[in-house]
Structure 1
Amino acid sequence: MTTPVRIRPRRLRGTAPLRRLVAETRLSAADLVLPMFVKEGATEPVPVTSMPGVVQHTRDSLRKAAREAVEAGVGGLMLFAIPAHKDPVGEAATDPDGILNVAVADLVSEVGDATIVMADLCLDEFTDHGHCGVLTGDGRVDNDATLDRYARMAVALADAGTHMVGPSGMMDGQVAAIRAALDAAGHTDVSILAYAAKYASAFYGPFREAVDSSLTGDRKTYQMDPANTVEALREVRLDVAEGADIVMVKPAMAYLDIVRRAADDVDVPVAAYQVSGEYAMVEAAAARGWIERERAITETLTSIRRAGASIVLTYWAVEAARRLS
C-alpha cells in the first residue's frame, strides 16, 4: 500500500496567480536604473553595434529618452559621456561646459523632479590613454593625483545639478576624497553610489565601444581580481566607512555571490550593474533563437534582486519597467 504524500510543495506552483502570490522576490520598475550615453557633437543617435537597442545619444535624443524612461517608471538614470576631445588628465570631465556636465544639467532640467539623475564619476571616457586616472611618467595610474581630479569632477557634477555621483575608478580613498570635496563645496545633499567591488572583468567589452574607449593595456592593477571575495567585502566596508550612501557590485550576474555577501554585510543599499557583456550575450543568443528573450531578461533581473541587490543598473530598464507596469 502506498503511503499518501501529505507535504506537497507543488501545491503552491499550480497556477500563475498562486505563483505570483507566494513569490519570494519582487521586481519592480522602481528598482531599475538605466545607463545612458551622450556623445558630444552627435547630430543623431549612434547605434552601439555590440549592444542592440543601445545608442550614443545627442543631447536632444537624451532628453527624449529620459522622459520615456521616467514615464515607464524607471527608478533612476546613470549618465556616461563621450567628449569630442581627450587628453592625458581628462580635462573635459571637470569643464563646466564639458559634455557630461551640460548633459547632467539637461537631464535635471528635463526630469530632475521625477527621477534620480546619476553621473558616472571616472576619467576613462575623458583620457586619451583610456585609464581611470592620471598616469605617472612610467605609465602607472597615480592613485593620489587621481583623487584630486575626482574631487574636482565631483564638485563640477554637483554644480551641474546631479543628485548622485558614481565613482567607478576603484582608486583607494576615492569615496572619502569625493565626500570631503562635496561637503566643502556645500553639496552635502549629493549622494555617493560607490562602485565598491568592481572587478577586472571580460564582460565590459561592448561598453568600450559605447564610450569610444581609448584604453591601452588593462585595468588589473586597480580593478579587482575575479578570484577574490574577502577583498571585495573589505572594499565594500571601506567605502561605507568613507561615506558611501550606496555600494555597488559590478558585474552582476557572474558575481551574485558577492552581491549576497555584501547585502548581508552592510546596512546601506546594495546595487548591482548588469553590464554590457551580460546584456549582449542574452541579445545575441535570443537573436539566434537559442533562448526566449523576454523570459531570459526577467529571469536575470530577478536573480540579481534575489541575490540581495535593491537596485539594478540594466540596459533593459525601460523595456522591463514597461512590462512590469
Structure 2
Amino acid sequence: MTASYPHTRLRRTRATAWSRALHRETTLTPADLIWPLFVTEGVQVEQPVAALPGVSRWSVDLIVDRAREAVELGIPVLALFPNTQPDRRSEDGAEARNPDNLMCRAIRAVRDALGDRIGLLTDVALDPYTSHGQDGLIDDAGYVLNDETVEALVGQSLNQAAAGADIIAPSDMMDGRIGAIRAALENTGHSNVQIMSYAAKYASAFYGPFRDAVGSRGLLKGDKKTYQMDPGNTEEALREVAMDLAEGADSVMVKPGLPYLDIVRRVKETFAVPVFAYQVSGEYAMIEHAVAAGAADRDAMVLETLLAFKRAGCSGVLTYHAAHAARLLHG
C-alpha cells in the first residue's frame, strides 16, 4: 500500500550513480593510505611472504622502486619494516642503533632518490632486532623491562631520524617512551620529525603473518601480553591515548583495525586528533584467502573495508592493499 504522503523517500538520492556520489558522506582517496613495506638484504631481491599472498620483502634498491610507484599512485607515506638477518640479532637488539642497519640504508636510499616527494614512517621497537623476538629488553625471567627498553628506543629513534625518517612510529607499548623520544628529538635538532604513536596496540591473534615477514615468529619466547593491551579493554585505550598525547605524540594509531573500529571511534570522539589504524597482516590474509577460495570479490572488499576505517574516524590507514586500492581509486 502506498503511503498517502510520500514526502520523504531516502531512496531518491540512491537512484543514480551521480546522486550517490553527490550525497556520499565519507570518501576514500589514495592520500588516505600508508603502504607498509618489508626490507631485506641483497640487490634486486624480491622474496614473497608465504603467509601474505601478494606481499614481498624487497631489497633496498627495489624499495626505491616501490617508493616511485607510490608517488605515481598518490600514496603519501611508506611504512618501513626490516627483515634483520639472524646474525645481526642479539639479546639487546643493538642492531637497531646501528646507523648502517637495513632500515637506515632504506631510508637514505628513498630520501636520496625522491627527496621530500614521499613521507617515510619508521617502526620503533626492538622485535626485528632481538634474538628472543620481544619488543624490548628482557630480564633473566623473560620479563620485558620498561625503562631500560625506553632508553634503547630513544637511541633507535634518533638513529632513524638522523637517516631521514619523517615519522617515528613507536610500536613497542612501553610506558613513557613517547615523552622520552620527543625530548630527545627536540634536543638533537629533529623538532620537525613527527611521532605517530601506536597508542592502542592490542595483544592480538591477527599479527601472525607479520611476524613471518620480519622473521621473528620462530624466535618469540613467550607472548606480549604484559605490555600490549588486553582485547577486552576500551577505557584503558583512552588512557593510553591521553598519556601519549600529553607526552608529545602528533597522531595516534589503533592496531589491529577492523576488529577495533569501536576503539577508533571512541578515540576520535574523545580527543579530536588525527587517528590512524593498521589493517594488519591477519586482516589482509583473511581477504586474500577468501578471494582465493572464491568467496569474495577482492576489489569490492578492499575498498569497502578501507572506507569503513574512514567512516569510523580514521585520518588514514596502513594497509598492504595500498597500491591495489590506489589503482582502483584512480579508475
Q: Aligning the two structures, in what range does the TM-score lie when normalised by the shorter sequence? A: over 0.9
Per the alignment, residue 133 of structure 2 pairs with 130
TM superposition shift of 1:43: 5.1
How far does the alpha carbon of each residue in 1:231-270 deviate from its partner, in whole angstroms, 9 at most, with x for none?
Answer: 0011011100000001000001000000001111113210
Q: Is residue 275–residue 314 contact of structure 1 (8 Å, CA) maintained in 2?
A: yes
Residue of structure 2 equivalent to 1:197: 200
Distance 1:217 1:176 in 2: 28
Gaps of 5+ in 2: none
Structure 2 counterpart of 1:105, from 92, 103, 108: 108
In structure 1, the partner of 2:61 is 60
Alpha-carbon distance between aligned partners in 1 of 2:163 and 2:275, rounded to the nearest angstrom: 26
User: Which secondary structure does the structure 1 equivalent of 2:326 belong to?
Assistant: helix
Q: Is the 8 A contact 1:134 1:146 kept in 2?
A: yes
Query: Which of the residues 302, 306, 309 maps onto 1:301?
Result: 306
Return the offset for 1:40: 2.4
Give the whole-Å Cα distance in 1 for the aligned partners of 2:80 and 2:22: 36
Q: Structure 1's 42 and 201: CA in aligned 2 closer, same or farther, altered over 3 A?
A: farther
Tell me the equivalent position of 1:144.
147
Match of 2:78 in 1: 77
In the other structure, the counterpart of 2:96 is 93
Aligned residue runs from structure 1 range 160-171, under 5 A: 160-171=163-174
8 Å contact from structure 1 (residues 82, 211) kept in 2: yes
* SS class of match (1:194): strand
Could you say what secondary structure the match of 2:69 adopts?
helix
CA offsets, 1:268-298, max 9 Å, x none?
A: 2100000000000001001111011110000
Give the aligned partner of residue 286 of structure 1.
Answer: 291
Deviates more, 1:272-281 or 1:111-120: 111-120
Distance in 2, Cα, partners of 1:240 & 1:127: 28
Partner Cα distance (1:43, 1:64) in 2: 10
Contact 1:40 1:81 in 2 (8 A): no
Tell me the equivalent position of 1:244: 249
For 2:182 and 2:263, locate their aligned partners in 1 and report how far apart those are by CA, in whole Å.
Answer: 25
- Structure 2 residue 180 is matched with structure 1 residue 187: no
Partner of 1:36: 37
Offset of residue 129 of structure 1: 0.3
Distance across 2 between alignment mates of 1:141 and 1:319: 38
Q: Does the CA contact (< 8 Å) of 2:44 and 2:61 recur in 1?
A: no
Cα distance in 1 for residues equivalent to 2:146 and 2:35: 29
- For residues 2-61 of structure 1, what are the alpha-carbon distances to aligned partners after superposition, in whole Å with 9 as ceiling and x for unaligned? 533321101111111111111110101101000011012465110001111111111111
CA positional deviation for 1:110: 2.1
Q: Please, which of 318, 321, 328 is the counterpart of residue 313 of structure 1?
A: 318
Q: Give percent identity, aligned residues only.
A: 50
- What is the CA–CA distance in structure 2 between the aligned matches of 1:2 and 1:35, rounded to whole Å? 53
Matches of 1:3 and 1:26, distance apart in 2: 34
Q: For this pair of structures, how many residues does the alignment match?
A: 325
Q: Do structure 1's residue 269 and structure 2's residue 261 form an aligned pair?
A: no
**When the two structures are superposed, what TM-score results if normalisation uses the length of structure 2?**
0.96
Moved more, 290-299 or 264-273: 264-273
User: Residue by residue, what CA displacement relative to the aligned partner does 1:203-251 show, whole Å, maximum 9, x if unpaired?
Assistant: 0011011101121211000000000000001101110000000100000
Query: Helix, strand or coil for the counterpart of 1:46?
Result: strand
**1:3 pairs with 2:3:** yes
Partners of 1:30 and 1:202 in 2: CA distance: 29
Using the TM superposition, name which of 315-324 and 144-153 deviates more.
315-324
Which range moved further: 214-223 or 1-10? 1-10
Contact 2:209 2:281 in 1 (8 A): yes
Distance 2:40 2:91 in 1: 19
- Is the Cα contact below 8 Å between 1:119 and 1:157 reproduced in 2? yes
Residue 177 of structure 1, aligned match among 168, 176, 180: 180
Deviation for aligned residue 1:111:
2.5
Is the CA contact 1:259–1:272 (under 8 Å) kept in the aligned structure 2?
yes
Contact persistence 2:277–2:309 (CA under 8 A): yes
**What is the root-mean-square deviation in Å for CA atoms of aligned residues?**
1.1
Tell me, in whole angstroms, the C-alpha distance in 2 between the residues paired with 1:306 and 1:240.
23
In structure 2, relative to structure 1, the CA distance for the partners of 1:135 and 1:42 (3 Å cut) is: farther
Instruction: Give unmatched runs, 5+ long, in structure 1.
Output: none
Greater mean deviation of Cα atoms: 81-90 or 122-131: 81-90
Is the CA contact (8 Å cut-off) linking 1:92 and 1:99 kept in structure 2? no
SS at match of 1:113: helix
